[in-house]
Amino acid sequence: MVKVLGLSGSPRKKGNTDILLDNFLKGVKEEGVDTETIHLRDYVIQPCIGCERCRKDKTCTRLYDGDGMKLLYPKFEESKGLVMGSPSHNYNVTSWIKAFIDRLYPYYNFTEDRPRNYSSRLEGQGRKAIVFGICEQPDMDGMGYTLDAMSKPLETLGYKIETKFPVTSYFDRGAVSRDEKILQSAYQEGQNLTKKFV
């Protein structure tokens, strides 16, 4: 049974990122697929310290005391679908998304040569994702690296990015809720994501 995990990297409750994520997942649920929504702001995710212990342990065993990734790793692993969104902060993802992505390092297998070759333990599982970003500026330059900062690490982990969904010209909390065209597009992309698993 396919499950889709929705991740919001916004620090702002009920903001534009949360509203868009809800609409993507409504489309997913409309197709009868289970979803779960995670707001990363509700978790304490310690930054990766590069200790490399996870290369041997295959999970993070250094930062577990009070660390939110202990709760998020199982949810991430069991969900073959992913919808990840972030507002643009300084032309990039928020620190919540960056910390989460950095802590996915345990899913890589590395060789011992230099430079090291690597592969992902999640490859070949049919994982698929949507990434979306939102920025205040009216042009894509204001989005900066936001979409690539999410899509490239996920692709390396073994995800197929089905949709990159940029939204521009919105900043005020909840303003995107008045744009029925964008909300409907997000809903349809959520529906389309589930059909890719058939």
Q: What is the pLDDT of residues 55-107, one digit of tens each?
A: 899 999 887 778 999 999 999 999 999 999 999 999 999 999 999 999 999 99
Residue 4, H or E segment: strand 3-8
Neighbouring C-beta atoms of residue 49, cutoff 10 Å: 11
Give 12-23 pLDDT, tens digit per residue. Answer: 999 999 999 999
Distance CA 135, CA 166 (A): 8
pLDDT of residue 66: 84
Domain total of the chain = 1
Of 187, 135, 138, nearest in space to 163 by CA: 187
CATH number, domain at 161?
3.40.50.360
Confidence of residue 1 (pLDDT cuts 50, 70, 90): confident
The domain in which residue 51 lies consists of 3-195
